[in-house]
Structure 1
Amino acid sequence: MYTPEVKAEILVLLKELKLLRDDGDVTRTSSFAILRRIRGRLLLRPRNDPDGSQVTVVASGRGAWTGWVDLIKDRIEEKAITNTARVIREVAADIVGVVEAEDRITLARFTDSLLLNPVDAQPLYPHVMVVDGNDPRGIDVGVLATNAYPLSMMRSHIDDGTFGDRVFSRDCPEYWFTFPPGSALAGQRLVMLVNHFKSKFGGNNPASIARRKRQSKRVAEIYDDLRAAGVDHVVVLGDLNDTPDSEALQPLLSDTDLTDVASVRPFDDGDPDEDRPGTFGNGTKSNKIDYVLLSPSLFARATGAGIFRKGVWGGVNGTLFPHFDTIEADHEAASDHAALFVDINLD
């Protein structure tokens, strides 16, 4: 039951959130919270009450209504976010695989505010998609695509495995595109499988290895099924959280015809000393955990690839790799993972 004291506190909190007079509006810049009412009534709001002083709580208790308050998510003015956008701008890929996205709306706000065409102020990546996965923290994988590559279909694999024992920590979504008119592959299908495998956080124990191996095997099966169905152009990418020689990744790296873009020539590893092939942290060999893997048809058309390190802070003082002049400390880096890219010839 809501006691008089509880009702008074509810009104104080709603006033602080500017929700006394209405439920808030996501399109209104003054709103930073929304009162979600599903069933029942919480408040009585008199019509002629401009300051909300006559609003009362009419719900007798928590069981008398169903609803909650949501905070509105907005763009954060932080250098790290701006530097992330700068990485995407400079790599200038037609399709970008995104790891650790919060949700589609947040990712769309990021692109629509920080990745605009300077000529017409239109989004460089108007096609934004994220499928909510299995991570309870809301860490998902998604894609950004230019006007030339509208998303034609998607398929989720969040339910692969049994209840309580799903294969994927997040998902292995299939994002389907069609090569644009005028290209050598016009009308043909392109499928991106974006992944984020089980991490080694807390130790690389046998259970962690087994989980990644299970995920690797399932992605290999999905890839093989696509190829058997006549899809020639497939990319598997993401943070696989293990090295190329690891037992866990062999079902994907050794037992399929996928090829790591590190085998593309020329390959620019972004390291002045050319002794750091990794993509995470300081780029050591043990930190090569991010991948872009190509089916044979795409590998045959690859004209160059590399690791773009200008958005990371290498070493204690950030001196391992050249980085953006807008990064002055490690917390301002775009990410602790360098971006991977590959160029595909469509002429």
Structure 2
Amino acid sequence: MQLNAENLFLFLDEELPANWQSLPEKQWQNLSPASVSNKSLEKLKRLASTILEEKPHVVGLNEVGGEDSIQNFSKLFLEDLYDAYLVEGNSDRGIDVGYLVLKSWGKKFELTSYKDRPINFLYPHEKAASSAKTSHMFSRDCAELKIFAGEDHKDPEMILFLVHLKSKLDPEGIDPFGNLRRGAEVQTLLEIYKESKEKHPGVPKAVLGDFNGVAREDGHEMEFQGIYQESDLKNALELAKIEGEFYATQVQFSRMGQRTLLQFDYIFLSEELHHRLVVEETFVYRYRNEMGIHSSLPTNFDEKLALPSDHYPVVVTLDFSN
């Protein structure tokens, strides 16, 4: 599962009261020692119920507030069924990428961070000023998770790469929609992927995360062209022929209220995994409403704000039985 959890901050500085799950929101927020607000209690419950309903072996999380937040979320809301793997990255908002891995799976894991990997990129004004800086890094991180069958950590069974690419925000007016920086991050991601293929040939790999842009093969923004020109990666939702509104992982509204459906969240599969995709169990999850029914996409901004996250999870099932 790939899930941008939208500002999943969960900081707690004292022992929780016995009735913590039913606290009013103000009292819930008072439990946090941090200057940033915790994610609302009800939204945390709904995110957790989504994960527990599907119970994926691996969840790639975006926008989680560091190691404390991911550990607290797993322990308090996911019945302590998951181990957390996270290295705090480069985000100036404190939102990181991390993995939740089902404890009962019985595999061994190794996490590698590429947060210090140069992306061979300077903004045009930095180049013109002959800046001493040689390159920026990933906006957050590229987190690699190797999955092993045994203790020796020699030959991984599968390798995952989790990213949260540069957003479209450009408050300084130096990179409209973040296209240049995001494009450099894509190219560095592909370099890391190619290096892994050379080091571990034949090992199945997946690249997942919030790409902050349209990276679909059937119509993508230019910064994602290299995915299809330089790699064997395929979008799992396109392999499963998920079409129309069913592939939307985010709904955006203009100031005039016009609705746009987008796929920003992806699980890309290497060639070794294409035939292992279970099409009927690959989809974009729709959150359940207060009546327990999978709700339709929001039709206005207020409905969107009521969702547990502004992104929908991508669920991919792979069959390794033969």
What is the TM-score of this pair, normalised by structure 1? Answer: 0.65
Q: Deviations over 1:171-230 (max 9, x none)?
A: 10111112589xxxxx74211111011111248945721111111011111111111112
Indicate if the aligned counterparts of 2:204 and 2:272 stay in contact, CA closer than 8 A. yes
Separation (CA, whole Å) in 1 of partners of 2:205 and 2:235: 12
Separation (CA, whole Å) in 1 of partners of 2:163 and 2:308: 20
Separation (CA, whole Å) in 1 of partners of 2:41 and 2:14: 22
Within 5 Å, give how 1:248-263 maps onto structure 2: 248-263=223-238
Separation (CA, whole Å) in 2 of partners of 1:115 and 1:268: 29
The more displaced of 218-227 and 247-256 is 247-256
Task: Determine the structure 1 residue equivalent to 2:187.
Answer: 217
Within 5 Å, give how 1:160-199 maps onto structure 2: 160-161=117-118, 165-179=135-149, 188-199=156-167
Structure 1 residues 268 and 89, CA, compared in 2 at 3 Å: closer, same or farther? farther
Q: Which amino acid aligns with 1:91?
A: E
Within 5 Å, give how 1:105-184 maps onto structure 2: 105-116=68-79, 123-125=80-82, 127-147=83-103, 148=105, 150-161=107-118, 165-179=135-149
Shift in Å, 1:154? 1.6
Shift in Å, 1:77? 5.7
Indicate if the aligned counterparts of 2:170 and 2:177 stay in contact, CA closer than 8 A. no
SS in 2 for 1:238: strand
Separation (CA, whole Å) in 2 of partners of 1:164 and 1:334: 40
Indicate if the aligned counterparts of 2:114 and 2:142 stay in contact, CA closer than 8 A. yes
SS in 1 for 2:230: coil
Task: Determine the structure 2 residue equivalent to 1:307.
Answer: 284
SS in 2 for 1:338: coil
Separation (CA, whole Å) in 2 of partners of 1:226 and 1:76: 36
Structure 1 residues 115 and 180, CA, compared in 2 at 3 Å: closer, same or farther? farther
Highest CA radius of gyration, 1 or 2? 1
Structure 1 residues 275 and 140, CA, compared in 2 at 3 Å: closer, same or farther? closer
Question: Pick from 274, 279, 285: which aligns with 2:249?
Answer: 279
Query: 2:191 aligned with 1:229, yes or no?
Result: no
Question: Pick from 265, 279, 285: which aligns with 1:290?
Answer: 265
Shift in Å, 1:341? 1.2
Question: Pick from 60, 66, 70: which aligns with 1:103?
Answer: 66
Mark the runs of 5 or more structure 1 residues left unpaired by the alignment: 1-24, 31-69, 117-122, 182-186, 319-327
Indicate if the aligned counterparts of 2:146 and 2:156 stay in contact, CA closer than 8 A. no
Question: Pick from 264, 287, 305: which aligns with 1:331?
Answer: 305
Indicate if the aligned counterparts of 1:91 and 1:308 stay in contact, CA closer than 8 A. no
Indicate if the aligned counterparts of 1:301 and 1:345 stay in contact, CA closer than 8 A. yes
Shift in Å, 1:276? 5.2
Separation (CA, whole Å) in 2 of partners of 1:210 and 1:268: 29
Separation (CA, whole Å) in 2 of partners of 1:234 and 1:111: 25
Separation (CA, whole Å) in 2 of partners of 1:71 and 1:275: 40
Task: Determine the structure 2 residue equivalent to 1:71.
Answer: 33
Structure 1 residues 112 and 279, CA, compared in 2 at 3 Å: closer, same or farther? same
The more displaced of 162-171 and 243-252 is 162-171
Structure 1 residues 213 and 314, CA, compared in 2 at 3 Å: closer, same or farther? same
Indicate if the aligned counterparts of 2:65 and 2:95 stay in contact, CA closer than 8 A. yes
Query: 2:214 aligned with 1:243, yes or no?
Result: yes
Structure 1 residues 164 and 277, CA, compared in 2 at 3 Å: closer, same or farther? same
Indicate if the aligned counterparts of 1:94 and 1:145 stay in contact, CA closer than 8 A. yes
Task: Determine the structure 2 residue equivalent to 1:36.
Answer: none
Task: Determine the structure 2 residue equivalent to 1:16.
Answer: none
Shift in Å, 1:155? 1.3
Separation (CA, whole Å) in 2 of partners of 1:75 and 1:136: 17
Indicate if the aligned counterparts of 1:95 and 1:149 stay in contact, CA closer than 8 A. no
Task: Determine the structure 2 residue equivalent to 1:316.
Answer: 299
How many pairs does the alignment contain?
A: 258
Separation (CA, whole Å) in 1 of partners of 2:305 and 2:56: 25
Higher helix share: 2
Shift in Å, 1:264? 2.7
Indicate if the aligned counterparts of 1:279 and 1:307 stay in contact, CA closer than 8 A. yes
Structure 1 residues 332 and 223, CA, compared in 2 at 3 Å: closer, same or farther? same
What is the TM-score of this pair, normalised by structure 2? Answer: 0.70
The more displaced of 215-224 and 302-311 is 302-311
Structure 1 residues 214 and 151, CA, compared in 2 at 3 Å: closer, same or farther? farther
Task: Determine the structure 1 residue equivalent to 2:29.
Answer: none
Mark the runs of 5 or more structure 2 residues left unpaired by the alignment: 1-11, 18-31, 121-132, 254-258, 289-294
Separation (CA, whole Å) in 2 of partners of 1:286 and 1:330: 12
Instruction: Give % identity.
Output: 23
